[in-house]
Amino acid sequence: MGEGERRRVVVGVSGSPGSLAALHRGAFEARRTGAVLLAVGAWEPPRGALAHPSSMLAPPMTEFRQMADDRLLTALDTAFGADGPGVPCRGLVVWDRPGRALVRTADRIGDLLVIGGGRRGRMRRALFPSVARYCLAHAACPVLAVPRSPLHRELASVRRRVSLRLPLDASELTDGRS
């Protein structure tokens, strides 16, 4: 690390609950180590005729970029509110696939890459490549994968039970408290 360069904690941000948990953990790690928090949002234009290079119509790239900027700012606001993370923080929006964008951004010695653990359903794994696996396989720096919170898992379980019209015992939600 050159003189004047601070360590960085690079956090992947999609706006999902997992990425919000990663932001909180990243802020903790940045405070603990005196590093800068770098929140990274990746974006790609939608696939289809408008995004195809041979298309007669130019895709509205500035609008796609603005949506990515807005998503990153919303995630930071949701995670930290008006008080901010309590450490120096920068946001960066990158036009690339999420895994590759994060690995290319967290390229300095001393960087720490923090990512959300993501969902683990079979269908999801088959349709969408895992950003966490990509980062673990390709990153040159340490990678910290933050698991989903137990509360989020319990909420997902309740949603499944409700959608399947299975009985739901409210005492399960309150640990038997009245």
Can you give the pLDDT at residue 60?
Answer: 77
- What pTM, to 2 d.p., does this model score? 0.79
> What distance in Å separates the CA atoms of residue 108 and residue 106, rounded to the nearest whole number?
6
- Distance from C-alpha of 116 to C-alpha of 106, rounded to nearest angstrom: 15
Model confidence band, residue 130 (pLDDT cutoffs 50, 70, 90): confident
Q: Which amino acid is at 148?
A: R
At 3 the pLDDT is 44
DSSP state of 83: G
> Which two structure tokens, joined as six digits, stand for 29?
């790690």
Supply the pLDDT for residue 52.
55
Q: Name, of 55-64, 117-126, 154-163, the range with top average pLDDT.
A: 154-163
The domains found in the chain, sorted by start residue, are 8-147 (3.40.50.620)
